[in-house]
Structures are given as structure tokens and as C-alpha cells.
């Protein structure tokens, strides 16, 4: 099965709001007009409501009242507001395939995203870019379920017997969720660093040029998996992907002092799912 042909001919490919597309294209644009973008966001009532709800949540220090998109940009910064709009726009663009738990999918995606943002403090990468990359790291999985529901049902039978989902995807489809997600991110015109981050998340050290965001996602997924299993800090450290941490310049001593904080991150962005 050819991934590019599949997406080229897809009738159900999600459409994202125009303002979200413009925000994607604003990555790396130093001359972007915050006022112009805020005005466009404000024109979309659904996005505005979601962004203001999240901006007033405890996660963003909800003791101050954010009454408009301009207020949000002023108080939170343009990059944080862009992240909120991207999250709102993307979650609203996808319809759940039959039998697919879309809310759990986005909850898990945001858990990884929040951990990516947390890790960016220690890897000295851009926090909001790391969040965005984490937010869509698994988007290929959702895309495969939307475009190939019958094939997914067949693959699930094998996964239920203990096989790794990513291995079965590669064997049965000829590509896996990371490749599908990277192709979709490329078509949506996300920056190349985010595309590469999604593409190489499973094997960051195998890329010709080390993709930092792939390393961040890989570690974030590991931390979330361990937290879901109820692991303590000693267990997390025991099998920690230290080679990636070294490549990213993460000080493990300082990071592990705060590792317990990651257990509280998963629920921080749930306001966007309502």
C-alpha cells in the first residue's frame, strides 16, 4: 500500500480551520502580526470560546480573568495562544471512526504534549513547539483508523494476541503511524523540525541528522508509559533512554529531582476536549 497515494485519494482527510493553517505557517515567521492573528482567531467563535476557557483554567494560573483573545495574547504570550488554538482547531477537525475512543486518544496525546513541554525546560528546546509536536505525534494512528477502518479491525485481532501495533502496521500496510503522521504534518505545512520529530519519534538516533523533537517525544512517551504503570522515580530511571537524554543535553540529575511533577500533567489541558 502506498502512503502518498492513500492520502492523495482520501475523501475523508480532515480539514483544519483557515486560521489554524495560518498559525501553522506562522512558525518561524519573526514578522508575524500578533494583532492580525488575534483578530482572525476572534472571528471564529468556537475557537475563541475554547481558547478563553483554557486560558482561564488553573493550568494557566486562572486567578486572572482573560476576557478576549487579545487579553490572552497579552497575558500568556503569542506562542502559548497559538498552541491553544492549534489544539482547539485540530481536536475539532477530526470525527471519531466507529469504535475509536477519540477523547482518550486526545487525552493521551495531550499527556505526551505536556510532558514534551516539561522536558523542553531541560533540553533547552522551544516549549510551545515541543508541545505542538507532542500533541500531533500520534496523529498518524488516527488517520489510519479514519482511512482504513477495515484494515485496522484486522490488525487489531493480531495486536490483541500480543503483537506490537507499530510492527503490524508496517507489515500489513507497508508504513506505520509515525510515517503517516509525518506525511499529514508535511501536507499541513508544519515546519520541517516538527515533521521530522513525528517521523523519527520511534528511532531518533537512526536519522541522518538527529531530530531533537523526535528525541523529546520519545522520552515523553517513555515517561508517560511509566507513569501510567504507576512506576516510581527509581523504576523510571532504571530503563531511562539515557542515550537520548545525553544527545539532547538533558541533565538527568536535575530532571529526576522534578520527575514526580510529570504525574500531574495529563489532566492539565483537558478543557480543550469539552
Domain ranges for the chain, please list them.
3-273
What pLDDT, in 10s, does the model give residues 147-161? 899 999 999 999 999
Give me the pLDDT at residue 31, please: 81
Contacts for 23 with CB less than 8 Å, ≥ 6 apart: 37, 82, 85, 86, 89
What's the confidence (pLDDT) of residue 25? 83
Model confidence pLDDT, tens digit, residues 131-152: 999 999 999 999 999 989 999 9
CATH no. of 3-273: 1.10.3210.10
DSSP class per residue in 174-223: SS-HHHHHHHHHHHTT--HHHHHHHHTTT-GGGSSS--HHHHHHHHHHHH
* Spatial CA neighbour of 64 closest among 55, 50, 270: 55
Q: Is the pTM of this model over 0.85?
A: yes
pLDDT of residue 201: 98
Crossing angle between the packed helical segments 69-76 and 34-42, to the nearest 10 degrees: 140
Sites in the chain below the pLDDT cut of 70:
11-12, 61-63, 266-274
Cβ neighbours of residue 211 closer than 8 Å, sequence gap 6 or more: 193, 196, 197, 199, 200, 204
Amino acid at each position: 500500500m502506498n502512503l502518498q497515494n492513500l492520502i492523495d485519494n482520501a475523501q475523508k482527510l480532515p480539514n483544519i480551520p483557515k486560521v489554524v493553517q495560518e498559525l501553522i505557517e506562522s512558525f518561524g515567521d519573526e514578522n508575524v502580526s500578533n494583532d492580525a492573528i488575534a483578530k482572525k482567531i476572534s472571528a471564529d467563535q468556537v475557537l475563541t470560546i475554547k481558547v478563553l476557557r483554557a486560558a482561564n483554567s488553573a493550568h494557566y494560573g486562572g486567578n486572572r480573568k482573560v476576557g478576549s483573545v487579545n487579553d490572552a495574547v497579552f497575558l500568556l504570550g503569542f506562542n502559548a495562544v497559538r498552541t491553544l488554538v492549534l489544539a482547539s482547531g485540530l481536536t475539532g477537525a477530526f470525527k471519531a471512526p466507529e469504535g475509536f475512543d477519540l477523547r482518550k486518544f486526545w487525552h493521551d496525546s495531550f499527556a505526551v504534549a505536556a510532558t514534551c513541554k516539561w522536558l523542553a525546560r531541560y533540553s533547552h528546546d522551544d516549549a510551545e513547539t515541543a508541545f505542538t509536536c507532542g500533541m500531533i505525534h500520534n496523529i498518524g494512528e488516527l488517520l489510519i483508523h479514519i482511512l482504513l477502518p477495515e484494515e485496522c479491525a484486522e490488525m487489531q485481532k493480531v495486536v490483541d494476541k500480543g503483537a506490537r501495533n507499530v510492527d503490524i502496521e508496517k507489515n500489513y500496510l507497508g508504513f506505520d503511524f509515525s510515517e503517516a503522521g509525518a506525511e499529514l504534518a508535511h501536507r499541513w505545512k508544519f515546519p520541517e523540525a516538527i515533521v521530522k520529530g513525528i517521523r523519527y519519534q520511534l528511532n531518533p538516533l537512526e536519522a541522518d541528522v538527529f531530530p531533537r523533537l523526535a528525541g523529546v517525544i520519545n522520552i515523553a512517551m517513555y515517561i508517560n508509559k511509566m507513569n501510567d504503570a504507576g512506576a516510581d522515580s527509581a523504576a523510571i530511571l532504571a530503563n531511562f533512554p539515557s542515550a537520548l537524554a545525553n544527545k539532547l543535553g538533558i541533565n538527568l540529575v536535575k530532571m529526576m529531582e522534578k520527575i514526580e511533577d510529570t504525574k500531574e500533567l495529563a489532566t492539565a489541558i483537558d478543557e480543550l476536549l469539552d
